[in-house]
């Protein structure tokens, strides 16, 4: 099933798309990023200086309740803010670097397989899944290996 436009999706859910809400949705949907409320506000302000934080928070709540956006905590890698992305994307897992905070998305059959297994084994009708994997990205992995080596290379203190 091809993903439908966010506007159709909104209309279908009876959410009125005001100009400011459209700016916010376009940013969440179009940036391809996982934005927190503050970054979203900063970006939105550039498009409409009259847009304020209250509107951002209210709209996020509305989008969330309408099932349009997912709220993620991404392992709280940089504090306790939440991140937002639209639900129109294909199911994916978030892979977070615990050192630099880089976020990758993993799309793959195993995710759908896990959903099927949960439905089969536990008898649930799965409505949403959220998969997060924490680790070290290739860059940080290399840095960590170097750090360990340097640590080991330190000669024992002479007596």
DSSP code at position 33: S
d(CA 8, CA 14): 10
d(CA 5, CA 24): 15
Binding-site residue total for Zn ion (CB under 5 A)?
8
For position 85 contacting Zn ion by CB under 5 A, the verdict is: yes
For position 97 contacting Zn ion by CB under 5 A, the verdict is: yes
Please give the residues from 1 up to 30 whose contact with Zn ion meets the rule CB under 5 A: none
For position 137 contacting Zn ion by CB under 5 A, the verdict is: yes
Q: Of the candidates 37, 75, 100, 118, which one interacts with Zn ion according to CB under 5 A?
A: 100
Please choose, from the candidates 88, 131, 104, the residue with its C-alpha nearest in 3D space to the C-alpha of residue 33. 104
Q: Of the candidates 64, 82, 99, 115, which one interacts with Zn ion according to CB under 5 A?
A: 99
Selected range binding Zn ion among 5-13, 20-28, 75-83, 101-109, rule: CB under 5 A: 101-109
Please choose, from the candidates 25, 34, 19, the residue with its C-alpha nearest in 3D space to the C-alpha of residue 63. 25
């Amino acid at each position: 099933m091809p993903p439908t436009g966010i506007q159709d999706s909104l209309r279908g859910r009876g959410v009125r798309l005001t100009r400011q809400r459209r700016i916010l949705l376009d940013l969440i949907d179009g940036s391809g990023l996982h934005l927190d409320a503050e970054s979203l506000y900063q970006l939105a302000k550039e498009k409409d200086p009259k847009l304020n934080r209250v509107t951002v928070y209210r709209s996020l709540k509305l989008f969330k309740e309408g099932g349009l956006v997912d709220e993620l905590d991404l392992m709280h890698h940089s504090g306790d803010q939440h991140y937002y992305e639209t639900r129109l994307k294909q199911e994916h897992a978030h892979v977070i670097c615990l050192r630099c905070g880089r976020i990758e998305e993993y799309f793959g059959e195993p995710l759908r397989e896990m959903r099927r297994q949960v439905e089969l084994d536990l008898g649930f009708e799965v409505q949403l899944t959220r998969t997060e994997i924490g680790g070290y990205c290739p860059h940080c992995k290399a840095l960590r290996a170097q750090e360990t080596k340097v640590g080991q290379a330190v000669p024992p203190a002479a007596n």
